[in-house]
Structure 1
């Protein structure tokens, strides 16, 4: 797998855009990520796994919404938002720790490969797009973190969910971050034509996180 990964990166496949890394540095980060996955899988096979390299975020719940939401409407924070919230909350310390482990110079990008089984939903895509903008967590000009997705496709907006988002990652200034979060909310309510998902090809519910158009979930898998 390592050889295939290095070979693909050398050919420019799967490389995140807007980064200041050499192909060698990209390969080293990819291999480091594979090592972490390997450690998690090995830990899972033990009789008493510790999962030191795995973080499980508890479901987010705003108690102030209890008794207010209509029947059938749930509240949630998707996994991507949990990752961004945790990273934004301590980004300088985590960045310094990561570049030390990876042997990178100050100002070199650390790639954050966010991917799951399914394509990002409309809300997560909107947040990620904003976080890649000026002063956001994934703003390439900040010379810290760069977001990498394995697909450019966008999934559905869940009508039956109140989705909490990682406001902390939208801007280094928390006042501006809150304003950007409110703007995202307002786009869904008032200006859907301005959403990232607007005028894009419809992606079926729970399509796999790939650019393949024939990646719908299959019950036989």
Structure 2
């Protein structure tokens, strides 16, 4: 059984308080239930704050023509070749492998989650998907307990612009790499050693923080250890260190398709309920109250145009939750690439990262939705940015010698 808890939204004064129809007693009961069942994950069903009725939650729907108009505002480029994931990006790399493993296992059961995104904060692995989030734990556990190495399918794609070839090559390779990460102490030690060295050399370091490189390395190592610890526990049937985030609304039906995208589900939780986790990270790891806490985020795909816009506002606007000047959380992605705006689904905007002021957050979310509805006339931060036209997969990794698998012949 999953334990459900509603989200906590900011009050008018900007302070966190219980929201929606959930009472404090219900919150305490859910927490006690989760404590009593230590091997179960906490399943978060995001809810609107009391200041935001469901009909006020910002959303938009665009058709293919409008989505294509938005894409035409960008500079098309071919798919980048594999790149090295170094420094803090190594944390994102492991999160990408988790996302791939979850999606692949769910797909084998006939489910299309569309996208899976992951993060880690204070010993908890956070995972969400656009659809079928209730199957994440089962899918990840199946993947961790499957011996992919016996299948000997790993290869590099012959054509990085071929969607099917890239997907097929990653499906097995990422799951295999994830299992190695969980099972091999020597691999973990090697990753940590290389990551520390790279960060000392100022490689793979986020430069939008108020942290020095030693502080960054310390946070990155702890994140890797937390990810691995959560996965080791899950492999043995204990999912208590994993938190699953469901969309505000979710329907995969083609006629009524709607959702909040995976990364926004996680970010919404961290912005509204994560203050305790941020304080705990600082206390447990000796981080100053005025120092940033790095929050990594990664999935199968780069952030789509919508999620990028939400993250851009949250990072660059006054009172935005991920604004480094707030001395709180700093969102870290291993790529600056931005995906497409996707048509054919109603997308709800998770607004609580956009401002600590509830009314301002709602206003900013509505403005984002409005800009997408305007199509090419909209004012979007992704306009004029490069767009990889074949697909929105995150860039392939080439950071370890053992990653350099042979490529499949182009005619195979």
How far apart, in 2, do the equivalents of 1:210 and 1:12 lie? Answer: 21
Give the ranges of 4+ consecutive aligned residues of structure 1 lying more than 4 Å apart after TM superposition: none
Aligned counterpart in structure 2 of residue 146 of structure 1, from 290, 311, 330: 330
Determine if the alignment matches structure 1 residue 57 to structure 2 residue 245.
yes
Alignment partner of 2:339 out of 145, 152, 155? 155
Q: Deviations over 1:101-154 (max 9, x none)?
A: 221111100001111121110000000000012101101111111111110000
Q: Equivalences for 1:171-210 in 2 at 5 Å?
A: 171-190=355-374, 192=376, 193-204=378-389, 206-210=391-395
Cα–Cα, structure 1 residues 205 and 196, in superposed 2: closer, same or farther, change >3 Å? farther
CA shift, 1:195, in A, is: 1.0
Give the 5 Å matches for 1:32-71: 32-46=222-236, 49-61=237-249, 71=254
Instruction: State how far apart, in whole Å, the 2-side matches of 1:184 and 1:116 are.
Output: 22
In the comparison of the two structures, how many residue pairs are matched? 206
Query: Could you tell me how far apart the structure 1 residues matched to 2:392 and 2:342 are?
Result: 14
Partner Cα separation in structure 1 for residue 392 and residue 363 of structure 2: 31
Distance 1:169 1:201 in 2: 25
Return 5+ residue gaps in structure 2 as ranges: 1-190, 398-407
Change (3 A) 1:205 1:160: farther
* Residue 44 of structure 1: how far off its partner (Å): 2.9
Kindly indicate whether the alpha-carbon contact (under 8 Å) linking 1:135 and 1:172 is maintained by their aligned counterparts in 2: yes
Q: Unpaired runs of 5+ in structure 1?
A: 213-219
Q: Take 2:242 and 2:274, find their aligned partners in 1: how far apart are those partners?
A: 18
CA-based RMSD:
2.2
Partner of 1:217: none
Query: Any conservation in 2 of the 1:152–1:211 contact (CA below 8 Å)?
Result: no
Gap change, CA 1:197 and 1:14, over 3 Å in 2 = same
Higher strand share: 2
* 1:29-79 per-position Cα deviation (integer Å, ceiling 9, x unaligned): 111110111112212321xx12122111234317xxx9xxx9545111122
d(CA) in 2 for partners of 1:58 and 1:18? 29
Judged with a 3 Å threshold, the aligned counterparts in structure 2 of structure 1 residues 35 and 12 are, in CA distance, closer, same or farther, namely same
Q: Are the counterparts in 2 of residues 118 and 207 from structure 1 also a CA contact under 8 Å?
A: yes
Structure 1 or 2, whichever has the larger Rg, is 2
> Which residue, 192, 199, 206 being the options, matches 1:9?
199
Counterpart of 1:105 in structure 2 is 288
Q: Which residue of 2 aligns with 1:118?
A: 301
